[in-house]
Amino acid sequence: MKFGLARTWLALAAVGLTLSASQTAGAQGGAPAGCTGAPSATWVNLTIEGLRNSNGVVTIAPYPDNPAVFLKPRGSLANGRVKARAGMVQACIFLPEPGAYGLALYHDENANGKVDKNGLGIPKEGFGFSNNPRIFFSAPSFKKVRVVVSGPGASLRIRMKYP
């Protein structure tokens, strides 16, 4: 049981290791000001709920429609970061084009660029996924987090979970 949880947290830590410098752009083709990631004509508006405090940032890691790279180091596309705000925060991230993606988020409370873990390898910081799948003893499959973005301005709600 603990090994499965540790594997989940190691996968989430990989998201932190793949952080790239996020780019903040002004409105691009109708995108909201402050949309993060590599500017494009496709973006997703996010409502991120359940943040336990306003410390640090929330990292948004979009993954392409390829289960083999989901939660793998350097598997995500251009990551975005937004300032955390207790309770709920609105965010926007650019995606390369319409299509299927999986989103993984984590609340980097101390803004050190990684998921902090306890001595057992279990994270101390929050995480969330598109489609808000149930998390048992390991990270969800790509199939459970896969969403189809048909064009600019799609909206998703993601609820953060804390250990």
Task: Provide the residue ranges of all domains of the chain, joining segments of one domain with +.
Answer: 2-159
pLDDT tens digits, 49-81: 999 999 999 999 999 999 999 999 899 998 999
| CA dihedral sign of residues 140, 49, 121, 82 | positive
How would you class 30 by CB atoms within 10 Å of its CB: exposed for 0-12, middle for 13-18, buried for 19 or more?
Answer: exposed
Virtual CA dihedral for 115, 69, 130, 125, nearest 10 degrees? -10
How would you class 139 by CB atoms within 10 Å of its CB: exposed for 0-12, middle for 13-18, buried for 19 or more?
Answer: buried
Q: 77-86, 87-96, 121-130: which range is least confident on average?
A: 121-130
Q: At residue 26, what is the residue type?
A: G
Q: Which two tokens stand for residue 97?
A: 């084009």
pLDDT tens digits, 10-52: 455 444 443 333 333 344 568 888 899 889 999 999 999 999 9
User: Which carries the bigger pLDDT value, residue 75 or residue 7?
Assistant: 75
Q: At residue 150, what is the residue type?
A: S
The DSSP 8-state label assigned to residue 47 in this structure reads E
pTM score: 0.81
> In the prediction, which pLDDT does 12 show?
54
Q: What's the residue count for the chain?
A: 163
Q: Partners of 58 in the beta sheet?
A: 82, 107
All residues at 6 or more sequence positions from 119 whose CB lies less than 8 Å from its CB, including other chains: none
Answer yes or no: are the C-beta atoms of 36 and 22 closer than 8 Å: yes
> In the prediction, which pLDDT does 29 show?
63
* Radius of gyration, alpha carbons of the chain: 15
pLDDT tens digits, 102-160: 999 999 999 998 888 888 777 789 999 999 999 887 889 999 999 999 999 999 999 99
All residues at 6 or more sequence positions from 81 whose CB lies less than 8 Å from its CB, including other chains: 19, 22, 36, 57, 58, 59, 60, 108
Distance, CA of 146 to CA of 49 (rounded, Å): 19
